């Protein structure tokens, strides 16, 4: 019985450590220089921060595999991207391989690029504490905004950035059913 209790405590400890593995202290702050990076998307294309911001702001949408809040937020990021016919400049960053990024894209029907960040250097560098998490980076390479979740409070801000990127009026999108916080 003692071994079973210790085994359960060990599993609980590992789950707790895994939950916090996505987190990193520090990270992106509005007005600070954004972390530069190079990463590969689900379709095998390589991107840098500079290539993603060459035409304007980019919304970096941080995705944690298996996160229930992200599962509920993903359709809203997809809706925003679709409302602007792919000109929203939303880019996912997933804590997994290129094949994980490909699977995520297929599972959630996303058309926007999803960067593989298996070693979590980008996630940690941007201080994504939980997912969903979004950081808006300007063409000048500076962090404009950190959005801590994919809730009905943050998603309209992503929608407004997407409209500016597309050069059109803000689309009316319902965010009913979006998660209230990160996971």
pLDDT by residue (tens digit) across 67-100? 888 889 999 999 999 999 989 999 999 999 999 9
At 115-158, the pLDDT tens digits run: 999 999 999 999 887 788 899 999 999 999 998 878 888 899 99
Domain ranges of the chain: 2-166
pLDDT (0 to 100) of residue 26: 60
How much is the pLDDT for 22? 39
Strands 38-40 and 114-116: unpaired
List, for residues 5-51, the tens digit of each pLDDT value.
444 444 434 333 333 343 444 677 888 999 999 999 999 999 999 99
**Confidence bin at 1 (pLDDT 50/70/90):** low
Class of domain 2-166: alpha beta
């Amino acid at each position: 019985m003692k071994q079973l209790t210790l085994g359960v405590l060990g599993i609980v400890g590992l789950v707790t450590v895994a939950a916090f593995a996505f987190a990193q202290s520090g990270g992106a702050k509005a007005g600070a220089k954004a972390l530069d990076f190079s990463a590969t998307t689900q379709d095998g294309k390589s991107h840098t921060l500079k290539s993603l911001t060459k035409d304007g702001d980019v919304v970096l949408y941080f995705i944690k595999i298996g996160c229930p809040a992200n599962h509920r937020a993903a359709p809203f990021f997809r809706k925003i991207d679709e409302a602007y016919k792919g000109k929203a400049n939303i880019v996912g960053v997933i804590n997994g391989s290129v094949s994980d990024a490909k699977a995520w894209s297929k599972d959630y029907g996303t058309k926007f690029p999803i960067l593989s960040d298996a070693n979590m250097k980008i996630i940690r560098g941007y201080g994504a504490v939980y997912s969903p998490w979004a950081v808006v980076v300007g063409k000048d390479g500076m962090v404009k905004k950190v959005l801590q979740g994919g809730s009905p409070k943050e998603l309209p801000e992503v929608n407004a950035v997407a409209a500016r990127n597309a050069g059109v009026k803000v689309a009316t999108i319902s965010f009913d059913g979006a998660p209230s916080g990160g996971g």
